[in-house]
Structure 1
């Protein structure tokens, strides 16, 4: 187990198969829930998005869902050591969550840094392979879970590789989640994008805002006040 320290001192525990990168930090900074909002992190791994929100001052109720017990345990330890009891680690398969009527529409805000790869070489390490491949979390699985979890008007933010943009947008719309914001991340202005971030809202009309590119050559971008949500 290794320890990473976020900007304001929050500890994040990682291990092989439960690590994080610039993409997770960009996602956590793309939009932050308000303290009055009930939040959900799907595919949470070590809990990096929920913990980054905590590091930025978010203290609302947050559930961090992760299918791998080893990664969920790292999140639980970080919650305890950071006195972050408002975060609840939940080791569960998102495909089976919020299926009952009484469970639906509980959340105002959700985020997901999903597995990126549907095909290609797989790591011999089962934890790393599960974290990187979509066996247990396709775009459709993610969108359907978020749609069940969110109230009408609730928001989902996610990141993915640019070559999956059409797949993600089709899955979001099929689940009743309308893409509202889109930004691309590039190392420099001359490079092709390596990531996109999008925000969708449940049950809203079409209308997509394209935001300025995020240049990540010097590390993860921290959004200014103009990017924070109303």
Structure 2
């Protein structure tokens, strides 16, 4: 898989790869909210020939890059990009071609930085800045998932209370996967997964550790995920 990204500004990394690898086997219709250059969706598509994807991106330049990346990887027959704000109203989304109650899985990597810490580059700031409110993104994700669809978000660990509140209000079978850089370190990221129409209890999973005790080598299963050899195991 080849990816074109901006020379400057926000560039997708491990978070996007893990998000793409978190899409469960057997998914047929995927929605990627805030898709950027399309890395997460493309990773998911690489795992399954039966998967089709809709990528939603509000930034016109990034949407164009995502379309270019889809074509460069020979996936134009299975993926397309819609230029829509992730927190647009339902009527606005439908008018721009984004259906509700339609997707098996919705994934998102919302903006990260809190107010007052915008990156100096405008493109990076647009991708990373947030006022801390993820509820709008989750409302859109749940609205677009079908009656038994799943929603998967990756975000900063300190945003977990807001994520859980919004997920719990709309979904069940919530799984929380902490992501730590090294063994014994606090998690810096979390993957949160929920299912519409479920009343199953929440599960807090063992952390996914990215590196070993020292050095820059990736630990398993992250190494295999980065090579495209494995999906993320939600231990179901």
Please say whether Structure 1 and Structure 2 have the same fold, judged by a TM-score greater than 0.5. yes
Residue number in structure 1 paired with 2:85: 93
Q: Do 1:34 and 1:58's aligned partners in 2 also have CA atoms closer than 8 Å?
A: no
Aligned to 2:209: 215
Query: Which residue number corresponds to residue 129 of structure 2?
Result: 133
Correspondence for 2:142 = 147
The offset of 1:84, in angstroms, is 0.3
Deviation (angstroms), 1:133: 1.0
Q: Is 2:178–2:208's contact at 8 Å kept on the other side of the alignment?
A: yes
CA distance in 1, matches of 2:43, 2:208: 18
Greater mean alpha carbon deviation, residues 103-112 or residues 38-47 = 103-112
Distance in 1 separating the partners of 2:85 and 2:232: 35
RMSD (CA atoms): 2.5
Contact 2:30/2:51 (CA < 8 Å) preserved in 1?
A: yes
> How far 1:80 moved relative to its partner?
1.0
Give the corresponding residue for 1:69: 60
Distance across 2 between alignment mates of 1:226 and 1:92: 28
Secondary structure at the aligned position of 1:94 is classed as coil
Q: 1:26 aligns with which of 18, 24, 28?
A: 18
* Structure 2 unaligned regions, length at least 5: 212-216
* TM-fit CA distance, 1:210: 2.1
Please give the residue correspondences for 1:154-173 in structure 2 after superposition, counting only pairs within 5 Å. Answer: 154-173=149-168
CA distance in 2, matches of 1:29, 1:226: 5
Query: What is the alpha-carbon distance in structure 2 between the residues aligned to residue 29 and residue 191 of structure 1?
Result: 23
Task: Report how many residues are paired.
Answer: 218
Distance 1:58 1:120 in 2: 43
Q: Indicate how the Cα distance of structure 1 residues 69 and 18 shifts in structure 2: closer, same or farther if over 3 A, else same.
A: farther
Q: Structure 1: 5+ residue runs without aligned partners?
A: 1-9
> Which residue is 2:48 aligned to?
57
Equivalent of residue 99 in structure 2, options 95, 100, 103? 103
**TM-score, length of structure 1 as denominator length:** 0.85
Shift, 1:229, TM fit: 8.3
Deviation sequence 1:159-192 (CA, Å, 0-9, x none): 1111110011112233x12352111111221211
